Amino acid sequence: MKNSYSIQALLLGLALISVGSRLTAQTAFGGLNSAYHSQGLALGSSVFAGAEAARVNPAALVYGKDRVITGFVRYPADIKAGLAEYRRLRERMNIALGIRHLNYGSFEGYDDNANRTGDYRVADTWVTMSVAGSLGSGNLHYGLTSGLHSSSLGNFNASALVFTPGLLVDIPAYRIKLGLTVRNLGIVLDNYTDYQERLPTLAVVAVSRQLAYLPLEIALDVGYYEDQTEPWAAISGIFTLVPGLELRWGTSTDKINQGSGNQELRDFLAASGLNLSLTNARFTVDAGGYFYGPGAWSLGGGLGVAL
């Protein structure tokens, strides 16, 4: 059956694009945890404001300005991801409207007798709306991203309603932020096959601190996937090199699975990302990448325009 070959091809694509090394059983919804902007490749913490805030922790949308954000990532095997988002930030309610697209490319289809059945395309599209605001004295922030994720595999389709709630607490006296988010809650509306897939739900607790004597905010995120017993953790930071120039960096416990075990430099760099942001009064330009242990890179960029 053509379907069996399609599922195998999609699994291969997801293995290549996963920012972590965790490929769970969700063949249709693996793109929910993929990066669509180079800031996402840098594994930015869920307490950082950034281009991927709506996906990672929508409460972080309370930081920032009115703007339009675009981003792209090129994964191995010529798999491409893109983001376009419009943000309207106000004192009481902040809103972001976004669309993300992940193109796995074109594949050759075969039947059980190895006869060609024609080419087919595999792609994901994710349309989202996010809201965020502050409570009380303004140090407690909340956010919610909701949207429709649709995945097409040739003539097969899968879809889900997806929700990501988030909280952020500012503690200015100690230059600390605390974050809590549960990514990718929701309802599966349609599956590729009779197999009932689950969403890749991830619960994350995060803490960050602005260092006193360095222009560096450093963060630790710890999370659990619903279907896994081992925790996932990442350490990341934002270093202000000069006003208007920021370096984002991060690495995670996926390094353990991506390493070759030979204690080479590429093992040290595995599961690590970097992003450089240049900002003036109107524009923000980003460029960055993510390094996989076997030696492959994902590269991306972004452009933000203040309104």
**pLDDT tens digits, residue range 44-84?**
899 998 999 999 999 999 988 899 999 999 998 888 999 99
pLDDT computed for residue 53 by the predictor: 96
**Would you say 225 and 21 are in contact if contact means Cβ atoms under 8 Å apart?**
no
**Would you say 139 and 113 are in contact if contact means Cβ atoms under 8 Å apart?**
no
> What is the rounded distance in angstroms from the CA atom of residue 122 to the CA atom of residue 259?
29
**What is the DSSP secondary structure assignment for residue 257, as one 8-state letter?**
H
Amino acid residing at 2: K
pLDDT computed for residue 153 by the predictor: 80
Count of H-run helices and E-run strands, the chain = 5, 15
pLDDT computed for residue 24 by the predictor: 42
**pLDDT tens for each residue of 230-281:** 899 999 999 999 999 999 999 988 876 665 555 565 566 778 899 999 999 9
Give this prediction's pTM.
0.87
- Topology of the domain comprising 2-240: Porin (2.40.160)
Kindly tell me the burial class for residue 240, based on how many C-beta atoms sit within 10 Å of its own C-beta (0-12, 13-18, 19 or more): middle
Phi then psi dihedrals of residue 249, to 5 deg: -150, 160
